[in-house]
Each structure stands twice: as C-alpha cells, then as structure tokens.
Structure 1
Amino acid sequence: MPELSQIQKDFRSAMAHLPAAVNVVTTDGPHGRVGITVSAVCSVTDSPPTVLVCVNQGSATHDIFRNNGEICINVLSGEHEELARHFSGATKVPMEERFGWDIWEKDAGSVPVLRDALVKIVGRISDRSIQGSHSVIFVQVDRIEVQEERDSLVYFKRQFHRLSVTPELVAV
C-alpha cells in the first residue's frame, strides 16, 4: 500500500472527529450473501426516500452489492459493538459464519435483516457514482422499521461509543 500524503493523513484525522452512526449493510441474491460495517450512510431526499452508502471499490463485497441490487441498512444499537467488529473484518470471522448466528431474518425480499437493529432500511440500488476509491451507492427505500427506545452505536475518534438517550430534566 502506498504511503499516504500529508493531506490524506490530515483528512483521515479530521474525519475521525466526525461522529457517525454504525451500520451493517447486507445483501443476498444470485451473486452471494455479504455484509459490511459502514459509517458512510446519509439521507439524500424524502421524495422519493433515498439514502446513500459509500463502499470501497476494492472491497470483496463491492460487486456483490452492486450486482444483487437490493440491500438492507441495519442501523446498530448500543449493544451491537461486537457485531460491528465482526462485519468490519476485524475479528476474521468468515462471512458465512457471521450470518449463522440466530440474529438474522429474511426480509420479504431476499436481504438479511438484523432482528433487533435500531433501524432497518431496505431498498434497491437506483444509481451509483464513482468518487476516487469509493462507489457512492444511491438506494431508493422500499421499507423502514424503527425501534424508538434504544441506544445507538456511533464511531468517534476511531472507537465505538454507545450513545444513550437521557430523559429530559423537568424543572420543579
């Protein structure tokens, strides 16, 4: 791997200070079943509901997502740090084993959905744009399920953190 330039190092350092929700993005279909941990997920518009997901073109999962066409963005809750590590590849658990745990169900389509995800967003890839090393994948949303009363998992300063909702203080 080539050495990073100073601006690349500065950029990575700056992005480490940008808190981001942690997601496991999944797909299943004729090209395979895969999932990856992703923090680069963003809403685009609600007309029609569309989100974007950034995936490294060098990832072994990139073409599988693109070719299957349907994905699920599983927004992770606070207790899913270990799962995030597995799907990031940090633990070296094989892909099929990651889906072997009794935490997955199949959506009405074909994508694996994390049973107790904070939010489940299922949709079809509607467009893709290449920007440097990554594909910016646009996903038109078909279905959403939200579990309101849960903590969220965020990534900040190169570490996972649990973001808890605290009850509002009531003045007496």
Structure 2
Amino acid sequence: MNLDPVDAATFRAAFRRHPAGVVVVTADAGDGPAGLTATSLASVSLEPPMVSFALASGASTAPTLLSASTFVVNLLADEHAAVAQRFATTGVDRFAPPTRWTRLPTGEPLLLDAASWLRCETAQRVPVGDHTLLVGRVLEARVDGDAAPLVYHDRRYHGLGDHTALEP
C-alpha cells in the first residue's frame, strides 16, 4: 500500500468519480449580487436545520459570501445545466440575462429557475486548507414538485431519472 502524500491532481481525479448534487449559492453583502456553483453542499443538522458548503479562498465571490450574513442555496434541476455552467464561469456577469433572478423580500438574490431553495443565516465560517467551510442555519425553504436533480460527475453535468433508480 502506498502511503505517500496525495498530490492535488490525484485527489481531483479521485473526486471526479464521486457524483455530487449541483447548487448555486447566492448572496449580497451590499455591493451587488454574487453567486457561484457548488457541489459540496451537505446537510449538517436537522435540529436546527443546517447546511454547509466549501468556498475556495480564491473564488471571485469569496469576499461577498464571507461577509454576507445570509445566503440562498438554489438547488438545480437537471434542465438547468446552463445555469450551473454560467455560475461556474469566471469573468462574466452571472446575473445578466439570460439568468432569471429576483430578490427575496429579505434582500437575497434568488434564481427563478431553482427547483428548490434554502435561505440561510451564516452560523460559522471555518477555515479548512485552501477553502472556508460556510455553515448556515436554514431560515426558510421552498420545495417545488418532483424535479430531477442536476448532478456533476467526471467534469460533466448529468440528470438522474427514474430509469437510473436501483433496487436494493
């Protein structure tokens, strides 16, 4: 067994084999809306309801997401791969058309194409390596229908449908 330190390329290659749900996290700390695509969303607690996601320290949206007191997790359906790609692209105005968005009454930017969403209050910011783990307490949630989720696997977006369900 090889116990040498794992290099970044090998670590990335291993996680390419790990499918993950796709969300867009949005916030506004007073300097305009910001958002990014994330695949690291995790449910952390049911009582109280809490989630977390990892934010790269060098992300262009890091200053806004780190200073905002609230954020919205926009869960995407399989038909929204273009939305995910737009929010994963650097150097573009992610909120310009064709992005469809509005503001919640509390001020946070919300993607109109989100299958479901969670409005969260930032509870903790935990530095971890070259990322910060943001932990949020869920204040509001909306779940729309039975949309099939958008999944990221091996550098591509995929949809999951009934045809992919496996019986135990």
TM-score, structure 1 length as denominator?
A: 0.85
Structure 2: distance between partners of 1:113 and 1:89 = 18
1:121 maps to 118
1:89 maps to 89
- Greater shift, 5-14 or 157-166, is seen at 5-14
User: 1:88-137: per-residue Cα shift (whole Å, max 9, x none)?
Assistant: 016x532342xx44621211211111223122011111101111110000
**CA contact 2:24–2:36 (8 Å) conserved in 1:** yes
5+ residue gaps, structure 2, are none
Query: What is the 5 A alignment of 1:17-166?
Result: 17-89=17-89, 92-97=91-96, 100-101=97-98, 103-166=100-163
- Provide the alpha-carbon RMSD of the alignment: 2.0
User: 1:61-112: per-residue Cα shift (whole Å, max 9, x none)?
Assistant: 111111122110001101111111110016x532342xx4462121121111
5+ residue gaps, structure 1, are none
Between the two proteins, the alignment pairs up a number of residues equal to 161
User: 1:25-59: per-residue Cα shift (whole Å, max 9, x none)?
Assistant: 10123133101011011000011110001100111
TM-score, structure 2 length as denominator?
A: 0.87
Structure 1: distance between partners of 2:95 and 2:160 = 30
